[in-house]
Amino acid sequence: MKAFQLVRPGAMGELRSVAQPAPGQGEVLIKVGGAGLCHSDLHFMHGDFAHVPYLNDNVPFTLGHEPAGWVEAVGAGVHGFERGQPVIVYPIFGCGHCAACHAGLDHRCQVHAASGPALGLGVNGALAEYMLVKSARQLLPLGDLDPRQAAPLTDAALTPYHAIRRNLQRLRPGATVVVIGVGGLGQMAVQLLSVLSPARIVAVDRSADKLAAARALGAAATVVADAEASRALRDATRGQRADLVIDLVGVDATLKLAASSVAAGGRIEVIGVAGGKLDWSFARLALEASIGSSYWGTPTELREIVALAQAGRIGTRVERFTLDDTARAYGLLEAGQIEGRAVVTPHG
């Protein structure tokens, strides 16, 4: 079968011919419906993660960490799933027995963190015709949802959902939330905030098209990310600082913008993995404001997101590509020319 693999960190992935896997005990083979393309893959292909052993030592491996599809075959001991059933795949392999996994926080599993924590991250992922899932625990039935449309829920929705959900107590009526970077994840963040909170949403991006999309999805105000962004953001927040800032870019400039716009007691959630740095000292942020990373999400949160999508409360904007067109699709993503999310659909 065909698979798009990271062969050499620092170089564009390659479409290769690989053996189709067969499910062993407890495993499930998925016919891939959709595999969303993520900006973080571009970082791997630029070699920005040379310090992460599993991305460098495990090559070649199939990229693609936003999977959904149909059950193709189940291994011995797997019950409750049948061939042809549409499923979404929680991409992270929790060991199931560490303290984090016992708490349902598989994304913090330390046992698998060093060896390849998720599909498409050091282990074969979804950019292939078929994909092996280690455990049926990673599968959630999609019901009426189309896997090709649902795939981005596993990262583009789950990642901002995790960051938003743990800050919902800040987002009371009259609160302000700033979303920096409204590409695939940022547009989802705006949708989720609109559904989950009464806070006023302000979107920041370089692209006028993406800002227009954010406005259509529920942003009350938008700010162009240029040299004047800090002042424009103060105007857009009506002089109030933000109770929550979500930085989906994570470069020096966006971290600085986030730091200058967070309110006393507010929170900055950094999702973007661009590796920017921010000087911190006691008085650098507003009093008692905090900053930290937010990484992916939990199986329970994915279940909640699927419920929101099934209820029609959130939706994905998807641009479809064939497996043969994967490199071109990454090129468009890199050039900022994907509206919503690029999804590779290996079976059409």
Q: Which residues bind Zn ion (CB under 5 A)?
A: 38, 40, 94-95, 98, 101, 109, 111, 155
Q: How far is the CB of 98 from Zn ion (least distance, A)?
A: 3
In the complex, least distance from residue 92 CB atom to Zn ion, rounded to whole angstroms: 10
Q: Where do we find the tokens 């499930």?
A: 28
Smallest separation, CB 296 to Zn ion (Å): 8
Contact call for residues 261 and 178 (beta carbons, < 8 A) = yes
- Closest CB to Zn ion among residues 59, 105: 105
Q: Which is nearer to Zn ion, 101 or 164 (CB)?
A: 101
CA–CA gap between residue 39 and residue 330 (Å, rounded): 9
Contacts of 297 (CB under 8 A, 6+ apart): 107, 158, 159, 161, 162
Q: How far is the CB of 32 from Zn ion (least distance, A)?
A: 16
Q: Which is nearer to Zn ion, 155 or 205 (CB)?
A: 155
The letter for the amino acid at 323 is L
Q: How far is the CB of 230 from Zn ion (least distance, A)?
A: 28
Which residues are registered as beta bridge partners of 119?
Answer: 123
Strand partners for 319: 342
- As a whole number of angstroms, the distance between CA 153 and CA 147 comes to 10
Closer Cβ to Zn ion, 67 or 94, answer by number: 94
In the bound state with Zn ion, the residue whose beta carbon lies nearer, of 109 and 221, is 109
Q: Which is nearer to Zn ion, 112 or 267 (CB)?
A: 112
User: Between helices 158-165 and 184-196, what is the axis angle to 10°?
Assistant: 40
Q: How far is the CB of 106 from Zn ion (least distance, A)?
A: 7
Smaller CB separation from Zn ion, 95 or 220: 95
DSSP string, 169-184: GG--TT-EEEEE--SH
Q: Helices then strands (H, E): number in the chain? A: 11, 18
* Pick 94 or 125: Cβ nearer Zn ion: 94
Q: Shortest Cβ distance from residue 155 to Zn ion (Å)?
A: 4
Phi, psi (rounded to 5 degrees) for 116 = 130, 95
Q: Which residue has the tokens 């909170």?
A: 197
Let me know: does 62 contact 120? Beta carbons within 8 Å.
yes
Kindly state the smallest distance separating residue 239's Cβ from Zn ion, in Å: 35
* 199 neighbors 244 (Cβ within 8 angstroms): yes
Strand, helix or coil for residue 284: coil
| The dihedral formed by the CA atoms of 200, 206, 209 and 210, expressed in degrees to the nearest 10 | -50
| Residue 154 vs 191, nearer CB to Zn ion | 154
125, 67 Cβ separation under 8 angstroms: yes
Q: How far is the CB of 288 from Zn ion (least distance, A)?
A: 31
